[in-house]
Structure 1
Amino acid sequence: MNSNTRGYSMRQKTLFYIGFCILLLLTILFSGNLITDGALRVNFIDKNLQPSFNHIFGTDWFGRDMFLRTLKGLSLSIIIGALSTIGSGLIAIMMGTAAAIGGKRIDFIINWLIDVVMGVPMLIFLILISFSFGKGPQGIIIGMILTHWTYLARVIRAEVLQMKFSQYVIASRSVGKSNGYIVRHHILPHVYPQFLVGLILMFPHTILHEASLTFLGFGLSPHQPGIGVILSESLNYLSTGQWWIALMPGLSLLVIVRLFDLLGESIQALYNPYKAHE
C-alpha cells in the first residue's frame, strides 16, 4: 500500500470515528435527559432480574431498569467530563503559551507549578479539591480542571517553543508585530491539532476519574445518577450473584473510554506522519 492510499485510509478511518463518537455522545445525552424519575421508579415485582429482551441490562434490587440507569449515569458523566475537559484545555493552552513566550521567569514559575501538580498523586489531589468545594458535580469539575491541564500544557509549551524561532515568527517580530498578534495569527493555528488531540485524549480520563471519585464517596451524591454510584451500590449485591448490576454499567463506561482513546490515537496519527506510517 503506497503512502497516498494509506493516508486516505487513515483519513477515512478517522472521519468514521469522529462521526460515530459524535453520534454516540448525542444519543446518550438526549436519551439520558429524556429519562424521567418515573421511568426509574421502584418496582419490586421486577427486582433482581437478569439481562433479557425486556431488560437488556437486567434490573437491580429495587426493580429499576439498569439500562435506563446506565444511560442516565453516562449522560451526567459525559456532561461533567466535557466541562472539565474544556476548562482544563483552556488553562493548558494559556499556561503552555505563556511559559514559552513569557520569558525565563514566567517559564520557571509555570514549570514549577506543573511539577507540583504532577508530583501529587492525582486521585488524592482530586479528593482534596472535590471535598474542599463541597463534592457534588461542582467539586468534581473544579478538581479535574485544576489537575488535568499539566500534560497538555507541556505539549503546547514544546510546540510553541519550536514556533518561537521559526522564520515567519521572526519576520513578524522584525516588522514590529506584538506577542498577541503572533500568538493569534501564527502560534495558535499551528498548535491547534495538538490541542484538539489533547482534549480528546483527556476526555475519557475525566469520565473515569469522575466515576472513581463517586465510587469512593467523594463525588456525586448517592441520590444523583452516576456510574460511580451504581458501581458503589453494586458491591453489596455481587456476593448474591447479581453480576449484571456491576458488569453492564462498568462495561458501558469502558467502551466509551476506549472509543475516545482510539479516536485520539487516530487523529494524532493523522497529523503525525511518523505515527501514520507505523
Structure 2
Amino acid sequence: MIQILPYSLIVGQESLKLALELAYIAPRIGGVLISGQRGTGKSTAVRAFAQMMFDRLPVTLPINATEDRVVGGWELSKLMLGKLEPKIGLLEEANKGLLYVDEVNLLDDHIVNIILDVTSTGVLVVQREGQSEEKAVSFTLVGTMNPEEGGLRPQLLDRFGLMVSVEAETKTKNRIAILQTVIDFDEALSEHSEKSPSSYIRAAISKNRKYQAALEDAKENFYNVELTKEVVESCTTLAQEFKAEGNRGDYMIALAARAYAAREKAEVVSKQHVKAVARLALQHRRPEMKQGHQEAWSEVDDERVEKILSGD
C-alpha cells in the first residue's frame, strides 16, 4: 500500500524538485544540499522522489553513524561467536538508489568526507583486517540542514554540486493548496487497497510513471545535448563574477545546464538553461556563504545573472 505522497502531487518547492531531477539526470553533479527550517516539506519531497525513481524509500544515514556503519564492517552477532562475516554499510545499501543524510551539518566532518568521496568517484573502499576492497557504488546523494543549527565548513559546502534554500510557503493560496493536497491524499489512502486503489491514487501513479520515464530519457540523452563554446564561456564568467573559488562552480553550472536542457528535450544548451540553474550551482559558492553567513539567493542575484549572460 502506498503511504508516501506521490511526487506528482507535491505542490510548490519547484527549485527543490528541479535540483533532485538534475542530480538524477547528471550523477556527476555529486549531490544536493537542502537548507531550510523544519516543517518545510524537505523530507516529503525527497522520499517521494526516491519512491518514484527507485521504487523504494531512501537509505537514511543517522547523525550518530560510525564509520563501520557507513562503509561496512563485521556482523557483530557473528563476531561475538568468533566468526568473521562481513556486513555491508549504508553506502552500499544505497547503491542504485538515494542516500538521504538529514541534518548533514551535525554529522562528523570525517563521515561527510567519506560520503562525498564515494559520491564523486563512484568507488567505495572497505578496509577489514588489513585488507582493502574496492566496490563500485552509485547513488543520488541528498543532504539537508537547518541553518539555525550551524553550517557546513566551506570545503564541504563546495563539494555538494547543487544547493537549494527551502522556505515555508507564505502565500495563503499556496498554503491552502498544499493543505488540500495532503487532506485529499489522506482520504484517498483510507479507501485504497492493493487490489483496488482509488482513482485519485491511480491518477497520481500514472503521472509518476510519466515523470520517471521523462527523467530516464533525459539521463540517457544527457551527453547528446550540445554544449557550445559560448555557453561554456558563460558558465566560467558567471562563476568568476560571483567569486566562486576554484573551478568546481564552472563545472557544476555546465553540468546542471546540460541536464536541464536534456530535461527540456533541447538539442543544444542555451543561456536560458544556464540562467535557470545558476542559483542552484552558485548559491553556496559565494564568499558570503563561506564566511558563515546564510543569506538566501535574492532577486538582485537573479538580475545580476541576467545582466552577466546578456553581456551588459
Normalization by structure 1: what TM-score?
0.25
* Higher strand content, 1 or 2: 2
Normalization by structure 2: what TM-score?
0.23
Asked which structure has the greater CA Rg, the reply is: 1
* Higher helix content, 1 or 2: 1
